[in-house]
Amino acid sequence: MYSVAFAGKGGTGKTTLAGLLIRYLIEKGKTPVLAVDADANANLNEVLGLEVHETLGEAREQMKKGVGSGMTKDVFMEMKVQEAIVEADGYDLLVMGRPEGAGCYCAANALLTRYLDRLVGNYNYIVMDNEAGMEHLSRLTTNNIDALVVVSDATRRGLQAASRILNLAVELKLNIKEKFVLVNLAKDGQSEGINEAAEAFGLDILGVVPEDPEIREFDLEGRPTIQLPADNKALTTAYEIFDRLMDS
């Protein structure tokens, strides 16, 4: 099982890239894939064109309030994990849901972790889309993974944020085998500036994906980005980068 987690500041297109990686894995026959939306503002399902009716956050809320008579908490949580899975062709989607409210969720989180550990064994690849910023790292959501891909836009501040995320992952001593920076939304003529900023922050760039008007059109029209035409420039560039990622 190989796991990839996407992180980065808001607006960098990490959810879109997570969706494109899922498509890449399916087309390469690297299935089954588990897609995990760990963003509190969940929208990976929109990139994938799927409807979500249950989240694991809702399951935690329900368990905290009580599971009712005739059912143990273990059975309840296992049932809720299964209900939250959205099945698709070659992959499944699991949405974590919003952060917890007031009070202790220790028991619910412990049970959830136990069943997720069992679940991931059914998949060859896991692709996780994390929330913007660094909170998921400090909460250890992004732990025990093979590759952390930090997505930056083509700005100095974006690359600085990527550097901070990578440094935090090191400080927290997270079990991440490899860490990468991927630059997205690059305009023509920005290569030199990207390279200079990356060098200033000590970053090695895995690849650069160009800004693409067709992706904006898909987003505005509510069309799943995973359905981009095969000759789309951003898609083909992302595939070349994913080739390097999978060969690393």
Structural domains of the chain ordered from first start: 2-247 (3.40.50.300)
In the chain, beta strands by DSSP E: 2-7, 33-38, 86-87, 91-95, 125-130, 145-153, 176-186, 205-210
Displacement of CA 178 from its chain's centroid (Å): 15
CB distance 33 to 158 below 8 Å: no
CB distance 152 to 162 below 8 Å: yes
Instruction: Classify residue 152 as exposed, middle or buried by CB count within 10 Å of its CB (0-12, 13-18, 19+).
Output: buried
CB distance 230 to 237 below 8 Å: no
- Beginning with the edge strand found earlier in the chain, give each strand of the sheet holding 33-38 in spatial order: 86-87, 91-95, 33-38, 125-130, 2-7, 145-153, 176-186, 205-210
Query: Which amino acid type is present at position 64?
Result: K
Which value, in Å, is the radius of gyration of the alpha carbons in the chain?
Answer: 18
Q: Is the dihedral of CA 160, 48, 87, 23 positive or negative?
A: negative
Report pTM: 0.91
59-73, 135-149, 163-177, 221-235: least confidently modelled range: 135-149
Q: Torsions phi, psi of 198, nearest 5?
A: -60, -40
* DSSP helix, strand, coil percent of the chain (3-state; round to 5): 45, 20, 35
Of the pLDDT bands very low, low, confident and very high (cuts 50, 70, 90), residue 119 is confident
Supply the mean pLDDT for the chain.
88
Q: What is the DSSP letter of 5?
A: E
Task: Please say if the pLDDT value at position 98 is more than 80.
Answer: no
Q: What residues have CB less than 8 Å from 161, skipping those under 6 apart?
A: 8, 9, 152
What is the predicted pLDDT for the residue at 81?
Answer: 85
Percent of the chain beyond pLDDT 90? 62
Q: Is the dihedral of CA 94, 141, 7, 237 positive or negative?
A: negative
**Pairing assessment for the beta strands 176-186 and 86-87 based on DSSP bridges:** unpaired
- Here the tokens at position 118 are 């069992």
What is the predicted pLDDT for the residue at 138?
Answer: 54
What is the predicted pLDDT for the residue at 18?
Answer: 97
